[in-house]
Structure 1
Amino acid sequence: MLFNSFEYVILLAASAFLYWIAPWQKARLVILLVGSCIFYASWDWRFLPLLLGAIIVTFALVRWKVVRQRIAESPGFGWLALTVTLNLLLLGIFKYTNFAIETAMMAGQSIGVASGSFSPLSIILPLGISFFTFQLVAYAVDVHRGTLEEEKSLLKFAVFVAYFPQLIAGPICRGKELLPQLNVRQPFSVSAIAQGLLMLSAGYLIKVGVADNLASYVDLVFSAEDTPAQQAIVFATLSFAMQIFCDFWGYSVMALGSAWLFGIMLPVNFNLPYLATSFQSFWRRWHMTLSFWLRDYLYLPLGGNRKGRLRTYLNLAVVMVLGGLWHGAAFTFLIWGAIHGAALAIERFISRRLNAGVSGSANPLPGAKLIQSVGKLFTWTITMFVVLVGWIFFRAESTGQALAYSDVFIRAAFSPASWISMPADEQLRVAQLFLLAGLILMLPLHWLNLMGNNQNFYEKGQVWQLSPRNGETFAVGVANRPLLHLRYNNISVPMPNVIKVVLAFWLFVAGYVLSAGLTVPFIYFQF
C-alpha cells in the first residue's frame, strides 16, 4: 500500500473520518492503531505479529525497568541493555544474517579456510524494521536517561510506534515529540485538514512528478552490462541525486501531510540538503531525524568530541560506517558511509586548522586566510562533488560497478569538455528535463512545506506551536491565538484554508499528469 496508491487514500480518508467523529481520545487511539495494523498487514500480514511483539516486549521491559529502579533505587542498566539488545538483535537477524555469512565466507576464502559459493538464506526483510527498531531503542534510552517519562498506556505506546504515516520510512519520532500529542483530544480543525491536503499533494508531485520520471533513466544506466559513456554516467549520477532526494523528501512530506489530517505533527526530515556548504551542514539537512538519532544515541555515547581529536575523528568514521550499513547490508553502503565519515573527519581537521590560521594560533593551515576568503561557493562545490561520488556507491548494483562508475565520474568532472558537447539521446533529454523540473520546484515547494510545518494554525482558540531544536521541528504545546498565519524565518504570511485546498488540487493534478501512469516504490521502503 504505497502512499501514492488509491488504497492508501481510502484507508487515510476512512481513518481520518472515524478519528474526528470518535467521542473519546481512547477511541481515537484505537482507530489509529487499527488503521496502522491494516496498513502494515497490507504489505505482508505475517510480519504484523513481529511488529506488535516488538512493541509489547519493549513496553514491558521499560515498565519493569522503571519499577525495579524505583524499588531497588538502582539505575537498571541491565534492563536497558536487554531492551536495546533484543531490538538490535531483531534487526540484525532479518537484515544482516546473509551479509554476515557471506562476509565470513569471503574472509575464509581469502585465507584458505573456506571454499565453495554462498547461497543466500530465504529471509524476507520486514518492512520498516530499521525505523521502528530505532524508535524503540530511542524510547528505552530516553526513559533510562530521565529525559522522558515512561508511557504507562500500552495502547498509546503502540500508536506511538505503529502510527502509519511514519511507520515504514520515518521520520524517526522521539517520545517527547509524538507521545504528548496523543494525550489530548483535540477539537476538529479545518486548518489541519487543509494543511494536510496541501502537503499530501505537494509530496505527491515531488515523488511521482520528478523522482519517478528520473528513475527510468537512472535504472537504464545503472543496469547496463558494460560501463556507459561519460555523459551517461554523469547525468545518471546527477539524476539519481535528484531522484533519491525527491523520492524520500516527497515521502516525508506526504507522511507529514497524512499526520496533519489527524491534527498530529511529525518532525521535519529535510531542509534543502543540496544547498549545504559543508558535510556537517549536509547531515543536519538530510534525513535529519536519522542524523540526530546517530548523534544522540551513538556519536555522543562513544565520546563525541570530548575524548581528543583522534578519538573524535574515529567516532565520526564509526558512526557514518554504521549509518551506511543501516541503509543496507552491502559493501556499497558500507563504503558510502565510510566516504561520509572520512569527509566529516577531514572537514573537522581542516576547519580547526583554518580557524587557527585566521586567528593567528599555532599550526595554521597554509593559505588559511586565502581559502576562507574564497567563500561558500568553494566549500559547496567540494561538498556536492563528494556527495555525488557517494551516491554512485549508494545506487550501484555492486562494488565493482561503483568503482568503475565513480572513476568515470571523477575523470569527467576534471574534463567537462569531453562530454558536455556530446549530443543527447531522447532518454537523456527527458532526464535532463525532469532534472531541471526538480531544481525549479525545489525551492518553492520546500518553502511551502517547511513554512507550513512551522506554522501556528489557529482553530477554535487552539494553536499548535512549533519550536526548533538543533534544526529539528516538532510540536510542543497548545495556546490561545485568534488568527491563522504561516510563519517562516519570522515572516508572517496569511494563507486562507480555501487557497490551501485549491493549491492542493492543482498540485495533485500536476503530479498526476506528470506521473504518466508510473508506479515506482519509494526507495527507502527497502531499508
Structure 2
Amino acid sequence: MLFNSFEFLVFLIVVFGFYWFVFNKKVKHQNILLLLASYIFYGWWDYRFLSLIFISTLVDYFVGLQLYRTTKNAHRKLLLGISMAFNIGLLAFFKYFNFFVDSWIHLLNNIGYHTQNTWTLNIILPVGISFYTFQTMSYTIDVYRNKLKPTGDFISFAAFVSFFPQLVAGPIERASNLLPQILGQRTFSYEKGMQGLRLILWGLVKKVVIADVLALKVDDIFGNYHDFGGGVLWLGALYFAIQIYCDFSGYSDIAIGVSKLFGIELMSNFKFPYFSRNVAEFWRRWHISLSTWFRDYLYIPLGGSRGSTWKSLRNVFVIFLVSGLWHGANWTFVVWGGVHAMLFVPSYIKGSNRKYVDNVVAESSWFPSLREAGQILFTFLMVVLAWVFFRSESLASALEYLSFMFTKFNFPPIYKNGLYSVGSLLFLDWIFRKDERLNFTFLEIIDKRVLGIVEVVVIIAVVYLISLNTSSGQFIYFQF
C-alpha cells in the first residue's frame, strides 16, 4: 500500500477513527489495532511475507527476554548470535544470495574456470526487509548491552517492529525511542496533528509534484545516455539527485507526519543534506537513522576513531562499503559507498569532519558567506557525481555515463518543468532549513483564521487525486 494512493488515504482515515474514537480507552486495545493495521498495510504487497516479519518478531522477542534473565556471558553471547544469525541470514538469503553467486561465477570465469550458473534462485525481495531486520537487531543488541530492558508485552513489541508508517522505508527506529511510546499512554494533540498534516502535505508534494515529475526525465536520460550530449547527462545526474532526495525524504516526512496523528514521535531522517559543507556533514543529514545505526552498531564496535589513524580509516571504509551494499545487491552500490568514503577521508584527516555538527548554514542570516556557498556547491557536485553509480545498472554504464558527461559536453536544452522542480525544492528547503519538522506555522502566515485543519485536509486530498494520474508511484527505497 503506497502512501500516495487512494487506498492508503481511506486506510488512514479508518485506522485513525478507530484508534482515537473506539479504542482510545486502553493502550492495549490501541496497540492491537496498530498491529492489525500494520499487518494489513504490509500484507497489501504480498501477504506471504507476513510470516517473515512475524518470525523475526518472535525470535527477537524471546531472545530479548532470555538475555535479561541470564547472567552467564557465554549464554548471552549465544543468544545474541542466534538473533544476529537469523536476521542477517534472512537478509542475506532474500537480498544477496543471487548477488554473491553471480559474483563468484563471474570471478571464476575471469580467471579461466568457465562454469555455468545453475545456483541462482527466483527470489522475490520482501518489501522493507532491510529496515525491519535492522530495527529488531538494534533492540536485541541494546538489551545485550544492558542499555534497554526488554518488554514482556508481545503485542506492543510486535507493534514496535511492524509500526506501519515507517515499516517499509524507515526511519529505522531505536527501541529506546519508539517502544516506550508504544507501551505508554497516548493522547491526541491538535497541535501535533496539525504538524503531522503539514509534514504529510510536504512529503506528498516532494514525492508527487517533484520526484515523480523528475523520474520520467531521469529514466529517459539514464536509459538512453548514449543518445545524449554531456550537458543533458549532467542534467540527468542533477535531476536524479533531487528525485531520490524528494522521493526518500518525502516518504520520511509522511511517515513522521502520520505517526504524529497517532501521538507518536519518530526520529528525523533528513535535515536538508544538500546544504552540507562537507561530506561528513552530508551524512549527518542524509538517511540519519541508517548512518547512526552503522555508527553505533558497526563503527564504534570496530574501534571507531580510537587507535591508529590507519585503523580508523579502515573502519570508515568498512561502514561506507557496508552501507553501500545495504542499499542494494549490485557492485554499483558498493562503489557508491566507496566514493563517499574517499570523499570523507580528507575532512577526517584534517579533523574537520566534526566541524559542522549542530550549526545550520547561514543560521543568523538569509544568505551563506562566499566560503560557505563554495563549500556547499563543491559538496553538492561531488554527491551528484557519486549518484551516477547509484542510479546506473552496472559499473560499466556508470563509468561510461561519467565519461560522456565530460567528453561529450554540450549545452543542454532547457527542460523547464525539471528546472522549475529543482529550483522550487532548493528554494523551499533553504527557507525551511532550520526546522526539518516544519514546527513553525508557515501555513498560518497567510491568515490564521483561514488556514486550518479543513483546508489542509482538502489540500492533501487534492494531492492524492493528482497522484492517481502519475505514471510513477513506487518509492525508490522500497527496493532496498
- Give TM-score, length-normalised by structure 1: 0.82
**Kept in 2: contact 1:256–1:265 (CA 8 A):** yes
* Residues 73/226 of structure 1: CA separation in 2 closer, same or farther (3 Å cut): closer
Query: Following the alignment from structure 2 to structure 1, what is the Cα–Cα distance between the partners of residues 431 and 372?
Result: 22
RMSD: 2.7
Deviations 1:244-294 (A, max 9, x none): 000111111100111111111111111010000111100000000111001
What is the rounded CA distance, in whole Å, between the counterparts of 1:237 and 1:207 in structure 2? 18
Superposition pairs for residues 8-87 of structure 1, below 5 Å? 8-21=8-21, 22=23, 23-69=25-71, 72=72, 76-87=76-87
Tell whether 2:429 aligns with 1:438: no
Q: Does 1:150 align with 2:137?
A: no
Give me the whole-angstrom Cα distance separating, in 2, the residues matched to 1:410 and 1:225. 13
Aligned to 1:274: 274
1:385 matched to 2:337: no
Alignment of 1:91-102 (within 5 A): 91-102=91-102
Spell out, residue by residue over 1:32-83, the C-alpha distance to the aligned partner (whole angstroms, 9 max, x if none): 00000000100000000111111001111121122122xx476712211221
Query: Are positions 1:131 and 2:125 aligned together?
Result: no
- Match of 1:508, as an amino acid? I
* Deviation per residue, 1:176-198 (Å, 9 max, x gap): 11111122222333223322222
Instruction: Provide the secondary structure at the position in 2 that maps to 1:185.
Output: coil
User: 1:93-117 CA distances to partner (integer Å, 9 max, x unpaired)?
Assistant: 0000000000100111111223235
Distance 1:118 1:387, change over 3 A: farther
Matches within 5 A, 1:35-434: 35-69=37-71, 72=72, 76-116=76-116, 120-224=120-224, 226=226, 228-351=228-351, 375-410=371-406, 419-420=410-411, 422-424=412-414, 428-434=415-421
**Partners of 1:214 and 1:117 in 2: how far apart?**
37
Rounded Cα–Cα distance in structure 1 between residues aligned with 2:431 and 2:453? 17
Mean Cα deviation higher: 440-449 or 105-114: 440-449
| Equivalent residues, number | 461
Residue pair 2:41, 2:164 contacting (<8 A) in 1 also: yes
TM-superposed CA distance for 1:348, in Å, is 1.2
- The whole-number CA distance in structure 1 between the counterparts of 2:452 and 2:172 is 27
Question: 1:120, CA displacement in angstroms?
Answer: 4.3
Structure 1 residue 419: deviation in Å?
Answer: 2.7
Q: Which shifted more, 93-102 or 103-112? A: 103-112
Instruction: Give the 4+ runs in structure 1 shifted more than 6 A.
Output: 495-498
- Equivalent residue letter for 1:390: A
Change in 2 beyond 3 A, CA 1:56/1:265: same
Shift of the 158–352 alpha-carbon distance from structure 1 to 2, 3 Å rule, reads closer
Partner of 1:501: 453
Say whether the 8 Å CA contact 2:233–2:401 is kept in structure 1. Answer: yes
Please state how far the C-alpha of 1:118 moved relative to its aligned partner: 6.6
Q: Would you say the 8 A contact 1:195–1:500 is kept in 2?
A: no
Contact map agreement 1:91 1:129 (CA 8 A) in 2: yes
How far apart are 1:451 and its partner, in Å?
3.6
- Structure 1 contact 202–445 (Cα < 8 Å) conserved: no
For each residue in 1:364-391, what CA deviation from the matched residue of structure 2 results, as whole angstroms up to 9, or x when unmatched? Answer: xxxxxxxxx9833343333222211110
The 1:304/1:31 distance shift into structure 2, 3 A limit, reads: same
Change (3 A) 1:63 1:324: same
Note the alpha carbon deviations across 1:343-372, whole angstroms, 9 max, x for none.
11233124479x9xxxxxxxxxxxxxxxxx
CA displacement 1:130-168 (0-9 Å, x = unmatched): 000000111111111121111211111101110000100
Deviation for aligned residue 1:15? 1.1
1:520 equivalent to 2:467? Answer no
> CA 1:313–1:174 in 2, change beyond 3 Å: closer, same or farther?
same
In 1, distance between residues paired with 2:147 and 2:257? 28
Stretch of structure 1 that moved more, 170-179 or 184-193: 184-193
Amino acid at match of 2:338: A
CA distance in 2, matches of 1:386, 1:77: 42
Listed one character per residue, the Cα deviations across residues 230-257 of structure 1 (whole Å, up to 9, x for unaligned) are 1210101000000000011111110011
* Whole-angstrom distance in 1 between the partners of 2:395 and 2:227: 13
Identity fraction in percent: 35
What is the identity, as a one-letter code, of the residue corresponding to 2:248? F
Contact 1:181 1:264 in 2 (8 A): yes
CA distance in 1, matches of 2:372, 2:197: 37
For residues 242 and 4 of structure 1, the distance between their equivalents in structure 2, rounded to whole angstroms, comes to 18
Note the C-alpha offset of 1:199. Answer: 1.6
Matched AA of 2:478: F
The letter for the 2-side match of 1:434 is S
> Does the 8 A contact of 2:218 with 2:236 survive in 1?
yes
Partner residue, 2:363? none
Structure 1 Cα separation of the partners of residues 401 and 147 of structure 2: 46
Q: Is the 1:62–1:83 contact (alpha carbons within 8 Å) kept by the matching residues of 2?
A: no
CA 1:498/1:13 → structure 2, altered by over 3 Å: closer, same or farther? farther
Which has more radius of gyration?
1
Between 1:235-244 and 1:7-16, the stretch displaced more is: 7-16
Q: Distance in 2 between matches of 1:95 and 1:506?
A: 40
TM-aligned CA deviation for residue 27 of structure 1: 0.3
The amino acid of 1:347's aligned partner reads S
Separation in 2, partners of 1:352, 1:39: 44
Q: Which amino acid aligns with 2:28?
A: K
1:183-229 deviations in Å (ceiling 9; x for gaps): 22223332233222222111111110111000000000111172521
Contact 2:5 2:468 in 1 (8 A): no
Note if contact 2:4-2:464 (Cα within 8 Å) is conserved in structure 1.
no
- Residue identity matched to 1:419: N
